[in-house]
Amino acid sequence: MTALAPETSHDQLWNRRYEEHIAPVNRLLDDTAALRPDSSVCYVDPMHDVDQAKIVVLFSNTGCADASGFITPGDADAATRMLGLQWELGLRPEYVMPWNVYPWHNGTEANGKLEPAQITAGLKPLLRLLKVAPRASALVAHGTEAHRLADQLLKTQNPLLWRRGFKTYKVKSLDGRAFAGSAERQQAHLDQMQTAYADAMARTGIAPSR
């Protein structure tokens, strides 16, 4: 008899991506992928919850798709910074919803600097996300591309935004050149992020978990 290999933690997460609390978002990503059959999309980790999410975290995703198949802040250092911020603030993952400016990836190639047309192409998927995440009323945009899409979002003057009292915040990317400078400059970027997330939590009624 051949022994079955134990299921890894990644396999467990991957197999849960269509659970009820996150399925609407990942089904939306399936529909988004179908719009560009020559590309792929990354999914949202099932640690997040579409019904509880109040803050959308928008990443510029100029790099490669993560090998996990899930949306990430960037490289391993970026992920560590994100986790550190959430821990310091007591911000639980079910209250945030990660999203990419340009949802599509071309195989294992890096997206590189996103062109204006690519950023604009990300607007409709972002609006669809807001429709399926009924409690989201704040957005933290990480990096230049995310800043531009956040501006486009506000310019739509979509009734959904004013009904929810929607607010956007612009902060640095969690990886790349933003964290290539001095330790003091890096800490200033992290402090700016912490201020933005703390304000978003206060506005949306998220109590720190610790």
User: What's the full length of the chain, in residues?
Assistant: 210
How does pLDDT run across 152-209, given as a tens digit for each residue? 999 999 999 999 999 999 999 998 778 888 889 999 999 999 999 999 999 999 999 8
Asked whether residue 1 carries a pLDDT value surpassing 50, the answer given is no
12 pLDDT more than 70: yes
Residues 85-106, mean pLDDT to the nearest whole number: 96
DSSP for 108-136, please give it: TS---SPPHHHHHHTHHHHHHHHHHSTT-
Tens digits of residue pLDDT in 131-146? 999 999 999 999 999 9
Q: What is the pLDDT of residue 6?
A: 53
Which has the minimum average pLDDT: 17-21, 24-28, 172-176? 172-176
The predicted pLDDT at position 73 comes to 94
**What is the amino acid identity at position 199?**
D
Task: Name the token pair of 97.
Answer: 């919803």
Residue-wise pLDDT tens digits, 44-73: 999 999 999 999 999 998 888 888 999 999
Amino acid sitting at position 35: L
Per the DSSP assignment, residues forming a β-bridge with 167 are 138
Q: What is the pTM of this model?
A: 0.93
